[in-house]
Structure 1
Amino acid sequence: MQRILIPLLLIVLTTFQGLAQQNQNSITISGKVVDSESGQPLEYATFVLQSAESPDQVTGGITDIDGNFEIETAPGTYNIRVEFISYKTYSKQGQTYNLDTNLGSITLSPDVAQLAEVEVVGEKTTVEVRLDKKIYNIGKDLTTSGATISDALSNVPSVNVDIDGAISLRGNENVRILINGKPSALAGFGSTEALQQLPADAIEKVEVITSPSARYDAEGTAGILNIVLKREKTLGFNGSVNLYGGHPTNGGITANANLRTDKFNFFTTVGYRYREGPGNGFFDTRYFDPRQDAFLDSIAYDRNIEDRDIDRINRGVNLNFGMEYFFSEQSSITGSYFYRTGSDEDLTTNVNDYFLNNDPQVGTTRSELETEKDNTHQISLNYINRLDEDGQVLTADVQFSVDEESQNGYIAEPVRYNNTDNTDIAIPMEETSSLQDQTEYLVQSDYVLPFGEGSQFEAGYRGTFENEVTDYRLLQENANGMLEVNVNQTNVFDFTQNVHALYSQYGSKFGDFNFLLGLRMESTQLKGKIESELTEEELQEEFSFPIDTDFDNNYTGLFPTVNLIYEFTERENVSLGYNRRINRPWSWFLNPFPSRSSRTNIFQGNPNLRPAFSNAFDLGYLKRWDKLTLTSSVYYQRETDAFQRVQEQVFITGPGGSQVEVIRNIPFNLATNDRTGAEVGMLYNPTKWLRLNGSVNFFRFSLDGEFNGVDYSQSNNSWFGRFSSKVELPWKIDWQTNAFYRGASDDIQGRSDGILSIDLAFSKDLLNDNATISLNVQDLLNSRKRSSFTTTDFFEQDSDFQWRQRQLRVSFIYRINEQKKRGRQERQDGGEFEEGQF
């Protein structure tokens, strides 16, 4: 690790040494900036001095609370400019200053035309197409006010967030989530749970990267979602407070603040949340042959109906603060700290009824109370140096994240007697505990070199080093009523993933033709060690398939990318992309010890999983009219060694060595997966008071593979579509409706029904547009449920599952020096650098 960090820090430190020293022969230019109508001073207005002889030499400052400014500079001839957001710019050319000078009061007038233009930009959802991604500036989404980032993503074209919170891109769940272009604890370690806890108000834009260039991780066969968080670029102080509450009981407060001067940018976000999220499930399992449960002793049954109620309480605090320091107009360093804490409780009640030939035999009520405490810390340091005005840029990043999570479960299952005289049945109580420690280091450096006419070369390195240790303990009640350790399930799983990546890419433009070619090399080390009181032979027997209890797998791969675009006009283009990707199994999929959420239906990981690889092609078309933007694409992907979950009938060891029959859900490298699809999106603004947004995605996938002698090959068609409308009503009331439908689909062992979800929201501006109150309903029809049918050689099952029931929420937002429809002004050096202009 030191061999990587030390050279990187030396690069950063040597770059800092080029700071210019101040001229000893200097003069002072001062003055005051006021509003032309009210005469009130304008705090944080920008005063710029540009050398008339050397326009590259620019200095300046900002006004204080009284509107005063004072700039120290060398004598000479200057062009002066005074700017303030939503005001007309004041400028004078060729002003000579050889002595200290007070310019007196400079008056600025409001720019009515600019305000009208900014109103469109601030409200309208827009899409920007680059060679390797689509950028959705999601505008003001009423339905996600007071909601989470996960809720906001469900309104982004091509993206689907299912009822469990799993995120998919074009119907493929293997999508990589980045925050501000990097892996982050804000997005969770290998899961999306953190996105269900962070406020949607933090999002600036979402980049949908279906054909990632070489600068991005090769992880994620579906592509990448890059969530760009807000950071104010305008000078001065601004902020907002969002207070919300609703039913089922939920509430919270989120505050954002930003202070920008000519040398510093301070930013912070802090929030508290409390949410009750009731859910439910239903499983009707019919066995083809009667069976007996070890716990139910002499009771035979051929059908089990499980009715599940879930009561969740999620509460916690998130905090993000940092500072950016500008060494000069070209270079800056940013340090930030993120903290999230949670204290959650889940009470799951499973009512089980067992039947034989449709006669009730016995019933049980299984109650599991799970408590969870979670603490996440992340420290980030970023350095950027715009080495020249041609766009040559060097960046360096260091990031450290740690997450500590503890879970405790208390399981009891008293028996309810139905059609039986047996009163001796007693299902033992259980207690579980899980301690999980996760750490991640990230080191990254990127270099961009523009040259020639419209050409650019990029190169960089990224190293990510992750470790996760899960200490799991299961205690079960013995015949004496005492809790004892079940050694068959108690274990420690130590998982490490280290990835080194080098990339380079070259892009250029010839007339109306653009291309970006890249190559990325990634070397992956996946290590796992299982510590258990069982021998390796006993583990093999317990899990019913051979496993490696101490594995160390290494993979090195090359991942080429090709992105092409041809512009017919400024408003019409066609694009073509190719990329090779990898899907690495994460720890949850590798840990072979089964879950305990149900006695009859469990999930179990597979340490034998290998990475899956894919090759993908994407052909896109974009056309813009005055009021309509149309995006479309067709795509094809072939994934080898694809992960698929298979349900099997197995026996696991219970207390006293009893064998308990369960349905196991386990992932395997099952198949080759060919996926073909097409999508069309539309942004239409026919009038100022009406905005429409819709998209449809159709896809077909074909699986070819078998497991344990069973052929799971199949072909399946499915689709999903979304529609959103926003209407401006009288009295400054906005009305927004979002609708989503996912079509039915065939699975490898059954079929899933379609899902319809509708969200509704109203908002009204108050207090001179400094505040907004909104009412929104998520899942208006309470129809966001997964219904499916599963069939195997030994059982068939109908199931329904609803992660969260209909939600009603009222939110109140108050903005401080942050007008609702204000645009975002860029830095005076010509705009903030954004990598990947091709």
Structure 2
Amino acid sequence: MKRTLLLLPAIACLSLSAFAQVPVDKTVSLQSVEIQGKRFGGLTGGEVKRLQVDSNLSGLTGTTADVFRLLPSVVTDIEGGITFRGSSHPGLLIDGVPYGLMEEYSGDMLIQLPALFFDRVSMTATPSIELVPDGDAGILNLSSAAYTVGDSPLVLTLGTGFQERYNVGAVLNLHPGKFHVVGKYNYRREYRKRTFSKSTANKAGTTVMNNNATARPDVHLADLSVGYDLTANDLITVYGLYSLMDYSRYGKIHNNKLVDENLQPVMFRHRYNDQRQEAYAAEARWSHAFDNPQDRLSVVFNYNNFGYDEDNEYKNEKPETGKIIAEDNYYVNQDKNNYYLSAIYGKLFADDWRLRVGYIGRFKNESYYAYGNKLAAGEWQSDPQKENEYNFNRRTNLLLAALEKKWGSFYAEAGVQGELNWQKIDTRYKIDDV
């Protein structure tokens, strides 16, 4: 089944906002990680908060999910899932760019990522007009602080804790001649144990399910930024990122069923799960300052890929005899390719008037395939109920313009976006005829 959506003509969105900037120095302790921020009260009722994670060696004991918990209106669960202003689908960006890595499985990354890898965390319920307006409740953005010649050229970190928790990282900071080189690497491993319980009652009786799962995820994350001062007004930067998360997980589901308060035969369901999440990105940026340093042109091109591979094997055991009475499996493969291009020009006029105009293009290709088998009469047979396949393609072209004005501590902005969006969904469900 194919679904094609084309939006014509361009959609115009008008944004008006005014803020009274009231700086409030705040310092909150998070396992020795210092977070500093300023609060901006808006006449529209919205708020903007920017938090800066201090470069502190002891900060490696905290994760990005821990930092998010300190943000007002943000809630994170034990698995790293984020709820922002009541929505579980906020926009998650890395340095202003959408990544496939930060979509469905972002929770796995956030509970493993040390807070110091991306040491700037910002959130806004009213996103800048320079951002693609994805998400249901604003934007959460991760970025890195700018390293200078005055910073240490090499930083090594090593941490260990309970539950087989290990963390090792390194930051390389070099500035030879006109080059600016910053490379980071972090490895993290821990032992996870989760217990879930669920009770379901119906006319047939009451079923109590206890699910116990253990996992040992290995997480590698590295990035490299190389900047070059082409001229006094031009900085060219190339950036690369690589992430790998590999799970080995075992779970045991213990089902108890009561009928008229009599315990029925019990069944154990074993789950053996391997999961691999791999992502990489390549990016180029050009920043040009005109005669007035406040007048600037910024161009960004980013390509990022995310791959997800999950293998599941299930075995049903009869506890009275220890015999395996049924077996099945389930496999998932997903691949995402994201292309992002933006060109933004900003010019400062007299009396603190500022104009910004630009273009944003976002192009996404995604494929997903899931299938499964079951063991019947000693032979493996495909299970149509577990089969699902789709391809998703989207092309977004966006033009923007914004006019800003400052009066001392007051700030006002009016902006407009015109968006042309095309997307196509191709789904296939293979179900045998009844």
Q: TM over 0.5: same fold? A: yes
Alpha-carbon deviation of 1:140? 6.2
Tell me which moved more, 402-411 or 163-172: 163-172
Answering whether residue 292 of structure 2 is matched by residue 389 of structure 1, we say: yes
Answering whether residue 155 of structure 2 is matched by residue 252 of structure 1, we say: no
**Ranges in structure 1 where 5+ consecutive residues have no aligned partner:** 1-121, 291-301, 418-422, 539-656, 658-838
The structure-2 alpha-carbon separation of the partners of 1:124 and 1:475, relative to structure 1 and needing over 3 Å to count, comes to closer
Residue of 402, 412, 416 corresponding to 1:515: 412
8 Å CA contact retained: 1:353, 1:360: yes
Map 1:389-788 to 2 at 5 A. Answer: 389-416=292-319, 428-478=326-376, 480-510=377-407, 513-534=410-431
One-letter amino acid matched to 2:314: I
* Alpha-carbon distance in structure 2 between the residues aligned to 1:141 and 1:155: 18
Alpha-carbon deviation of 1:409? 0.6
* Alpha-carbon distance in structure 1 between the residues aligned to 2:36 and 2:165: 31
8 Å CA contact retained: 2:229, 2:236: yes
* Alpha-carbon distance in structure 2 between the residues aligned to 1:206 and 1:198: 13
8 Å CA contact retained: 2:55, 2:119: no
Alpha-carbon deviation of 1:448? 0.6
SS across alignment from 2:126: coil
One-letter amino acid matched to 2:209: E
8 Å CA contact retained: 1:235, 1:260: no
- Give the RMSD, CA atoms, in angstroms: 2.5
* Alpha-carbon distance in structure 2 between the residues aligned to 1:236 and 1:223: 33
* Alpha-carbon distance in structure 1 between the residues aligned to 2:179 and 2:122: 27
1:640 maps to which residue?
none
Deviations 1:714-765 (A, max 9, x none): xxxxxxxxxxxxxxxxxxxxxxxxxxxxxxxxxxxxxxxxxxxxxxxxxxxx
* Alpha-carbon distance in structure 2 between the residues aligned to 1:499 and 1:445: 14
2:261 maps to which residue?
358
8 Å CA contact retained: 1:202, 1:230: no
8 Å CA contact retained: 1:447, 1:459: yes
* Alpha-carbon distance in structure 2 between the residues aligned to 1:141 and 1:356: 58
* Alpha-carbon distance in structure 2 between the residues aligned to 1:322 and 1:142: 21
1:323 maps to which residue?
226
* Alpha-carbon distance in structure 2 between the residues aligned to 1:207 and 1:275: 27
* Alpha-carbon distance in structure 1 between the residues aligned to 2:49 and 2:150: 29
The structure-2 alpha-carbon separation of the partners of 1:201 and 1:207, relative to structure 1 and needing over 3 Å to count, comes to same
SS across alignment from 2:116: helix
Alpha-carbon deviation of 1:316? 2.9
8 Å CA contact retained: 1:146, 1:201: no
One-letter amino acid matched to 1:268: G
2:185 maps to which residue?
270
Answering whether residue 192 of structure 2 is matched by residue 311 of structure 1, we say: no
Alpha-carbon deviation of 1:512? 5.2
Alpha-carbon deviation of 1:413? 1.1
Residue of 117, 126, 139 corresponding to 2:36: 126
Deviations 1:339-384 (A, max 9, x none): 1122211211110011111111121111111101232110011110
The structure-2 alpha-carbon separation of the partners of 1:221 and 1:123, relative to structure 1 and needing over 3 Å to count, comes to closer
- Give the number of the structure whose residues are more often strand, by fraction: 2
Map 1:223-234 to 2 at 5 A. Answer: 223-234=138-149
* Alpha-carbon distance in structure 2 between the residues aligned to 1:323 and 1:448: 24
Q: Return the index of the structure with the highest Cα Rg.
A: 1
The structure-2 alpha-carbon separation of the partners of 1:185 and 1:147, relative to structure 1 and needing over 3 Å to count, comes to farther
Alpha-carbon deviation of 1:440? 0.8
Map 1:289-304 to 2 at 5 A. Answer: 289-290=203-204, 302-304=205-207
One-letter amino acid matched to 1:178: L
8 Å CA contact retained: 1:341, 1:375: yes
1:165 maps to which residue?
80
SS across alignment from 2:135: coil
Deviations 1:617-645 (A, max 9, x none): xxxxxxxxxxxxxxxxxxxxxxxxxxxxx
SS across alignment from 2:110: helix
Residue of 277, 292, 302 corresponding to 1:374: 277
Deviations 1:442-480 (A, max 9, x none): 1111111111110101112111112221221201011x1
The structure-2 alpha-carbon separation of the partners of 1:247 and 1:348, relative to structure 1 and needing over 3 Å to count, comes to same
* Alpha-carbon distance in structure 1 between the residues aligned to 2:198 and 2:59: 32
8 Å CA contact retained: 2:330, 2:386: no
8 Å CA contact retained: 2:403, 2:413: yes
* Alpha-carbon distance in structure 2 between the residues aligned to 1:498 and 1:165: 30
The structure-2 alpha-carbon separation of the partners of 1:238 and 1:319, relative to structure 1 and needing over 3 Å to count, comes to same
2:137 maps to which residue?
222
Residue of 126, 137, 152 corresponding to 2:67: 152
8 Å CA contact retained: 2:33, 2:62: no
1:563 maps to which residue?
none
* Alpha-carbon distance in structure 2 between the residues aligned to 1:380 and 1:189: 22
One-letter amino acid matched to 2:260: N
* Alpha-carbon distance in structure 1 between the residues aligned to 2:178 and 2:250: 51
The structure-2 alpha-carbon separation of the partners of 1:526 and 1:304, relative to structure 1 and needing over 3 Å to count, comes to farther
Answering whether residue 100 of structure 2 is matched by residue 203 of structure 1, we say: no
SS across alignment from 1:453: helix
SS across alignment from 2:319: strand
SS across alignment from 1:201: coil
Alpha-carbon deviation of 1:123? 8.5
The structure-2 alpha-carbon separation of the partners of 1:346 and 1:262, relative to structure 1 and needing over 3 Å to count, comes to same
8 Å CA contact retained: 1:355, 1:362: no
The structure-2 alpha-carbon separation of the partners of 1:129 and 1:329, relative to structure 1 and needing over 3 Å to count, comes to farther
SS across alignment from 1:371: strand
The structure-2 alpha-carbon separation of the partners of 1:279 and 1:323, relative to structure 1 and needing over 3 Å to count, comes to same
Alpha-carbon deviation of 1:158? 3.1
1:775 maps to which residue?
none
1:720 maps to which residue?
none
What is the number of residues matched between the two proteins? 397
**Ranges in structure 2 where 5+ consecutive residues have no aligned partner:** 1-31
* Alpha-carbon distance in structure 1 between the residues aligned to 2:180 and 2:148: 8
Alpha-carbon deviation of 1:197? 3.2
Alpha-carbon deviation of 1:511? 5.3
The structure-2 alpha-carbon separation of the partners of 1:392 and 1:212, relative to structure 1 and needing over 3 Å to count, comes to same
* Alpha-carbon distance in structure 1 between the residues aligned to 2:410 and 2:171: 42
The structure-2 alpha-carbon separation of the partners of 1:429 and 1:166, relative to structure 1 and needing over 3 Å to count, comes to same
Alpha-carbon deviation of 1:506? 0.6
Deviations 1:552-599 (A, max 9, x none): xxxxxxxxxxxxxxxxxxxxxxxxxxxxxxxxxxxxxxxxxxxxxxxx
SS across alignment from 2:132: coil
TM-score of the aligned structures, taking structure 1 as reference length: 0.45
SS across alignment from 1:145: helix
The share of aligned pairs that are identical, in percent, is 19
One-letter amino acid matched to 2:340: L
TM-score of the aligned structures, taking structure 2 as reference length: 0.84
* Alpha-carbon distance in structure 2 between the residues aligned to 1:458 and 1:189: 32
* Alpha-carbon distance in structure 2 between the residues aligned to 1:368 and 1:430: 10
One-letter amino acid matched to 1:255: A
The structure-2 alpha-carbon separation of the partners of 1:474 and 1:171, relative to structure 1 and needing over 3 Å to count, comes to same
The structure-2 alpha-carbon separation of the partners of 1:143 and 1:359, relative to structure 1 and needing over 3 Å to count, comes to farther
Deviations 1:59-117 (A, max 9, x none): xxxxxxxxxxxxxxxxxxxxxxxxxxxxxxxxxxxxxxxxxxxxxxxxxxxxxxxxxxx
* Alpha-carbon distance in structure 2 between the residues aligned to 1:496 and 1:171: 28
* Alpha-carbon distance in structure 2 between the residues aligned to 1:510 and 1:333: 34
